[in-house]
Chains A and B, each alone.
Chain A
Amino acid sequence: DAGVTQSPTHLIKTRGQQVTLRCSPKSGHDTVSWYQQALGQGPQFIFQYYEEEERQRGNFPDRFSGHQFPNYSSELNVNALLLGDSALYLCASTDSRSGANVLTFGAGSRLTVL
């Protein structure tokens, strides 16, 4: 049973560019959340997608946007990249029907902005 898969694992961009990160949730999960983990910090909530809609959003600017597809996979887009966007971006999935409220994380996409 595949867990949460993310791509790419590593990428390097320059300031001002745009990036798209991808996530496939664990089989049977229908809800996807994205977190940003800066070096030496805990993960910070970006937003959550359920039924192809953004259900909740953390304190991140509009440069951060996302999408969820009918197969529950998701994308995170970041526009006009800043040096401070360098971080590990984690995708996590849950099954909204289980009531377990447990996040299953992927290994992350490490973004470096030069």
Chain B
Amino acid sequence: AQSVTQLGSHVSVSEGALVLLRCNYSSSVPPYLFWYVQYPNQGLQLLLKYTSAATLVKGINGFEAEFKKSETSFHLTKPSAHMSDAAEYFCAVSDRNQFYFGTGTSLTVIP
């Protein structure tokens, strides 16, 4: 069975500070891992995906994530938070036909 766990349902950072959103996965096979972002009253938008090509994955809007097999982690980072980054972030793992999402982390950016 595949699953993801997102540690911290709410994260607050100051504008310009480092963003770190945590995700740990459980998968019986080499995983496909994703981060999606959801703005209020919108669907989910893909930030980045890991498909075993490289352990450090760069996404849109300055976000990146590092796949660490030894820690079964896929944490999302951004060096400098912007007000527009305030949103809900979801980590997901897939088995090709089905995605398994975490419960989400709400990011607040303090001016």
Contact = CB atoms under 8 A, between A and B. Distances in A.
Contacts of A108: 42-43
Interface residues of B, number: 23
Interface of B: 32, 34, 36, 41-46, 49, 51, 90, 92, 94, 96-104
Interface of A: 4, 33, 35, 40-45, 48, 55-56, 58, 90, 92, 101-108
Contacts of A90: 43-44
A99 B94 CA distance: 13
Contact of A105 (B44, B51, B100): B44
Contacts, number: 55
Given A42-B90, A43-B90, A105 B43 contact: yes
Contacts of B102: 42
